[in-house]
């Protein structure tokens, strides 16, 4: 049984928020302590600590729009490289050598952009418990997934497939943000389930032209692909093969981020 982990590419988004900050004593965005005007720090930048274990670099910028409402823009990426947990995948597929060979030369890359609106229930201005509806757009880029098929001469030949898969999901994040000092903060993503749809297109091209027999043999291998809850349309042709995937997509956001408030 073959299960393909179809994953990741690059999205670049520019973000700009125009907002003003008043310096008068009557401003609702300022505090007066012992007749001294205190203006809350409304910005922070963060990096996820827990995701670094998976070579996933996650960054966030947050801006307090009001005392209770903040806007957050997140960007994360995994540099393209060897499939994570390849050895564990091979161990699980030890009874199926073909499945092991699929990921020998495979490489993965990933990017995601996640805007969210936070509603703080505690002290506000980016402090305390929050609830945050969010949207996530992600892309996976995978190359070098190997399929082995029988040739006309009875030998074995390989075809490498690659392509991109994108997903769009909506979710709700529950979390809490704390001060660790004057400027340092800790953001705890307690749990953030999200759900949506995905679509992927992959292609493999051979060096020569496949005979009818070779196409049939390759099709047998493609027909073994199984992805839970997803529609898989894999077709062999004279030049190689195509693979189209569509279906639901979901996940859970959780972790710890360290940030700097300014």
- pLDDT at position 227 is 82
Indicate if the pLDDT at residue 35 is higher than 60.
no
- pLDDT at position 62 is 98
- pLDDT at position 96 is 60
108: nearest Cα among 164, 60, 64, 42: 164
Q: What's the pLDDT band for 226 if we cut at 50, 70, 90?
A: confident
* Alpha-carbon gap, residue 43 to 64, rounded angstroms: 6
Q: What percent of the chain has pLDDT over 70?
A: 79
- Give the list of residues 6+ apart from residue 158 with CB closer than 8 angstroms, or none: 146, 147, 148, 149
* Alpha-carbon gap, residue 239 to 204, rounded angstroms: 8
- pLDDT at position 87 is 61
Phi, psi angle pair for 99, to nearest 5°: -65, -40
Indicate if the pLDDT at residue 23 is higher than 70.
no
Q: Which residues pair with 70 in a beta bridge?
A: 64, 118
Give CA separation, 161 vs 33, 201, 219, 244, in Å: 64, 10, 13, 12
| Higher local confidence (pLDDT), 140 or 96 | 140
Indicate if the pLDDT at residue 230 is higher than 50.
yes
Whether the full predicted model's pTM is greater than 0.75, yes or no, is yes
* Domains, the chain, ordered by start: 38-261 (2.40.160)
Q: What's the pLDDT band for 103 if we cut at 50, 70, 90?
A: confident
pLDDT, mean of residues 98-126: 88
* Alpha-carbon gap, residue 261 to 42, rounded angstroms: 8
Buried b / exposed e over 143-156, threshold 16 CB at 10 Å, is bbbbbebbeeeeee
Give CA separation, 78 vs 108, 119, 145, 163, 204, in Å: 8, 29, 18, 16, 23
Q: What's the pLDDT band for 140 if we cut at 50, 70, 90?
A: very high
Indicate if the pLDDT at residue 251 is higher than 90.
yes
Count each helix (H run) and each strand (E run) in the chain, helices first: 3, 11
| Higher local confidence (pLDDT), 93 or 130 | 130
Q: What percent of the chain has pLDDT over 90?
A: 68
* Alpha-carbon gap, residue 249 to 96, rounded angstroms: 27
Q: What's the pLDDT band for 30 if we cut at 50, 70, 90?
A: very low
- pLDDT at position 228 is 83
For the stretch 162-196, pLDDT in tens is 999 999 999 999 999 999 988 999 999 999 999 99
* Alpha-carbon gap, residue 73 to 113, rounded angstroms: 7
Please state, rounded to an integer, the average pLDDT across all residues of the chain.
84
pLDDT, mean of residues 217-246: 93
- pLDDT at position 54 is 85
For the stretch 11-21, pLDDT in tens is 322 322 223 23
- pLDDT at position 239 is 95
Query: 191: how many CB neighbours lie within 10 A of its CB?
Result: 12
Indicate if the pLDDT at residue 1 is higher than 90.
no
């Amino acid at each position: 049984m073959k299960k393909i982990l179809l994953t990741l590419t690059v999205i670049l988004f520019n973000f700009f928020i125009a907002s003003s900050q008043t310096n008068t004593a009557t401003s609702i965005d300022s505090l007066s302590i012992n007749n001294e005007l205190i203006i809350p720090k409304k910005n922070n930048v963060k990096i996820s600590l827990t995701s670094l274990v998976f070579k996933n670099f996650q960054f966030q910028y947050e801006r307090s729009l009001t005392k209770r409402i903040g806007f957050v823009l997140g960007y994360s990426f995994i540099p393209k490289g060897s499939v994570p947990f390849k050895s564990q995948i091979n161990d699980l597929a030890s009874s199926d050598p073909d499945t092991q060979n699929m990921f020998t030369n495979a490489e993965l890359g990933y990017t995601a952009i996640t805007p969210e609106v936070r509603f703080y229930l505690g002290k506000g201005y980016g402090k305390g418990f929050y609830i945050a509806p969010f949207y996530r757009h992600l892309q996976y880029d995978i190359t070098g997934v190997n399929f082995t098929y029988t040739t006309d001469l009875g030998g074995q030949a390989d075809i490498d497939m690659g392509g991109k898969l994108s997903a769009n999901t909506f979710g709700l994040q529950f979390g809490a943000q704390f001060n660790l000092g004057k400027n340092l903060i800790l953001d705890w993503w307690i749990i953030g389930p999200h759900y949506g749809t995905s679509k992927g297109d992959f292609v493999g091209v051979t060096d020569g032209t496949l005979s009818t027999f070779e196409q049939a043999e390759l099709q047998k291998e493609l027909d073994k692909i199984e992805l839970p809850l997803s529609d898989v349309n894999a077709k062999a042709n004279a030049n190689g093969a195509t693979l189209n995937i569509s279906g639901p997509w979901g996940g859970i956001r959780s972790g710890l981020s360290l940030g700097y408030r300014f």
